[in-house]
Amino acid sequence: DTGVSQNPRHKITKRGQNVTFRCDPISEHNRLYWYRQTLGQGPEFLTYFQNEAQLEKSRLLSDRFSAERPKGSFSTLEIQRTEQGDSAMYLCASTPRVRNTGELFFGEGSRLTVL
């Protein structure tokens, strides 16, 4: 059973560019979460999916951010017109449909640096 996979692991971009991150959850995990973690802070919830349905979005998710999970498997998080304040680690996590204990299984994250 492979873990949660995130790509790319690191992304450096110039302000104003668009970036996209991909997350492949553990197979048969039906819930997928995106969190953002800035230096010295804990993970902050952005959004989550149950299968392909986006069930909740945080107020942190401005209109420059969009997330999709088109077939209920992998997910993408796109940031348009990046700003320096978007520099952070973007974490993806998943949970199983059955025997869900509330535990999140995390990927290693995608670190974004906006110059």
Partner 1 sequence: AQTVTQSQPEMSVQEAETVTLSCTYDTSESNYYLFWYKQPPSRQMILVIRQEAYKQQNATENRFSVNFQKAAKSFSLKISDSQLGDTAMYFCAFTLSGNTPLVFGKGTRLSVIA
Name the residues that contact partner 1, by CB under 8 A: 3-4, 31, 33, 40-45, 48, 56, 91, 95, 100-104, 106-109
Nearer to partner 1 by Cβ, of 14 and 53: the residue is 53
Torsion angles phi and psi, residue 37, rounded to 5: -130, 115
Cα four-point dihedral sign 95, 111, 47, 70: negative
Give the nearest distance from C-beta 75 to partner 1 in angstroms. 15
Place of tokens 């945080």: 58
Give the nearest distance from C-beta 1 to partner 1 in angstroms. 15
Q: Cα dist. 25→38, 46, 56, 59 in Å?
A: 22, 16, 18, 24
Give the nearest distance from C-beta 58 to partner 1 in angstroms. 8
Nearer to partner 1 by Cβ, of 80 and 111: the residue is 111
